[in-house]
Amino acid sequence: MEYQGRLSNTVTLRVRSSAPGIFTIDSSGQRQGAILNQNFSVNGSSNPATKNSVVMIYATGGGQTNPPGEDGRLITGEPPRTALPVFVRIGGIEADVLYAGAAPGMVSGLLQVNARVPDSLAFGGAVPVDITIGDVTSKPGVTLWVEGANSGGVDSAVEEKLAQLKTDPSLPPLPEIPHDRIGLPQDWLGLISWNIQVGGTSTSPTAARPPMVQAALASLFSGTYQILAAQEIPNVGSADLLRALLPGGSLQWNSAFFDTTDSMDNGFWYRKGITLRDSFPLLVTDQTANGKIATDPSRAVHPPVVARFEAGDFDFTIVTLHLTFAEGHTEESVRELQNILDYVDWYFNQSGHDPDVIVCGDFNIPSALSGQTGRNGIVLDTVFDNDPRFQSGERRFVVTVHEPTSRSSASKGGEPVSNYDHCVCSVDTLEEFVQARRVSPDILTDHPEDPEQRLTSDHFPIVTFFKTRGEGVALDGSPQIRPASSTNEENR
């Protein structure tokens, strides 16, 4: 920079060769894309594209063209093509790209990509669409409406809910839950996931945090939630203490907890009246050490736990996890998650499986709709959406909870910082799904010692509500959830 004849110091700026972004109808960068159908009509719910037809996707950030573009020039004659390779995915399936370059008749800089809607697409409705130019992919959350039956018996209302959850982070108020201290409505399931943090269930008689945890658990929805998926529980003694800390104490609660050689175990605590069909720790060895299940840190530092629950007429398979933080190396969190997804793939391949699947816990990976990213721009949604095993039919998943859930230190006010905790739901659970979000921070901060003296936990709890009875809610049976080599111990 030069000012009045004097030059500033020199800085180096990294410049990407492309930065694709699809324009959307409402200019939000989410939901319905700015896309024309083959007959040049505007694509939308009332005007979907047909399979095997060509759609025109309008975007920006295509990088250099051949020949190079000129600022402000109106594109006439033969339009310049993108110099980098262009790929399009529609509904998770790679689409044939027929053209990628400047938009004819428009100002230079507007990118038009013509792609054929895959005939192999297994479902219709609002399906995700993204563009990759070079080695950079557009942000998730943009959709294209495709004509055709939805997948796996899922009705159109569920397809619309899926599309909304994938593109809209807003949380409509629930009249039944005006605040987070009110009891849950009848025939609702409250699933709490909370990284309580080591020390929150300490069995030391002088430990300061367990009473704070107990106060939060009692205040939360007046203690009427039915399942708690907890992370960072160090041992059996702490697991038993947590049962006692829950509203009503050990007489009202059971647990599915497996003591491993890790000091930050995961587990489930469930109220009497909720049926546990089976549970087991995942990604552990078949060895023991000092009476504890030996972990396999090469696959999971903090072993996940899988369970099969029945609540009213809603039954489901659920995994609770705490992915490694690895000093902020998000790639390591993703690597562990992929090991867990290998199990989920195995489960879906079993005859008679129930497609209602939930994965919840501390992922240490932000969601796309949170506006945050992990290292190298990683977001949780792309781990699922880029995995070909989970791109169609009942195997589709949606990431929920987009508010920051981890907290700064007590000395910095215990403020919400990073979006790490999520409930990831399969499409079939959306028939019962009501809402998922972080609970009100004042459930923790109303305690006189939080954050003035210490934090109740360095994470806020999250909650997911499901309907347990009503239209579309029915028991699916008791499928096999346990691979032959899995370990089990007596549930407590």
3-state secondary structure 56-73: EEEEECCCCEECCCCCCC
**DSSP 3-state assignment of 316?**
strand
CA distance 408 to 146: 44
- Same domain for 143 and 193? no
- Same domain for 306 and 249? yes
- Same domain for 139 and 200? no
Would you say residue 370 lies in a domain?
yes
pLDDT at 149: 52
pLDDT at 36: 96
Bridge pairing between strands 421-426 and 136-137: unpaired
Q: How far apart are the first and last CA of the chain?
A: 68
Domain finish residue from 121, 149, 177: 149
Domain finish residue from 149, 164, 196: 149
Burial of 393 (0-12, 13-18, 19+ CB in 10 A): middle
- Same domain for 258 and 323? yes
Would you say residue 463 lies in a domain?
yes
- Same domain for 121 and 193? no
- Same domain for 299 and 352? yes
DSSP strands (E only) in 383-476: 397-400, 421-426, 433-438, 462-467
* Dihedral sign computed on CA atoms, order 179, 181, 187, 189: positive
Would you say residue 6 lies in a domain?
no
Would you say residue 306 lies in a domain?
yes
Burial of 93 (0-12, 13-18, 19+ CB in 10 A): middle
Element (H, E) at 231: strand 227-233
- Same domain for 35 and 125? yes
Would you say residue 161 lies in a domain?
no
Identify the bridge partners of residue 233 per DSSP, sorted by sequence position. 265
- Same domain for 388 and 461? yes
- Same domain for 30 and 132? yes
Q: Which residues of 127-146 are buried (b: 16+ CB within 10 A; e: fewer)?
A: bbbbbbbbebbbbbbbbbbb
Q: Are 487 and 219 in contact (CB under 8 A)?
A: no
| Per-residue model confidence as pLDDT tens for the chain (492 residues) | 888 888 888 888 878 889 999 999 988 887 899 999 999 999 988 889 999 999 999 999 999 998 988 877 888 888 999 999 999 999 878 999 999 999 998 988 899 999 999 988 877 778 889 999 998 999 877 889 998 754 444 567 888 899 889 888 999 999 999 999 999 999 999 999 999 999 999 999 999 999 999 999 999 999 999 999 999 999 999 999 999 999 999 999 999 999 999 999 999 999 999 999 999 999 999 999 999 999 999 999 999 999 999 999 999 999 999 999 999 999 999 999 999 999 999 999 999 999 999 999 999 999 999 999 999 999 999 999 888 898 878 999 999 999 999 999 999 999 999 999 999 999 999 999 999 999 999 999 999 999 999 999 999 999 999 999 998 899 988 889 999 866 555 455
> Residue 368 sits in a domain of what CATH number?
3.60.10.10
CA distance 183 to 164: 27
Element (H, E) at 238: helix 236-245
- Same domain for 211 and 108? no
Domain housing 122: 21-149
Burial of 31 (0-12, 13-18, 19+ CB in 10 A): middle
pLDDT at 388: 83
H helices of 399-452, in order, are 442-445
Burial of 171 (0-12, 13-18, 19+ CB in 10 A): middle
Domain count, the chain: 2
- Same domain for 336 and 406? yes
Would you say residue 263 lies in a domain?
yes
Domain finish residue from 149, 176, 205: 149
- Same domain for 192 and 126? no
Would you say residue 240 lies in a domain?
yes
Would you say residue 333 lies in a domain?
yes
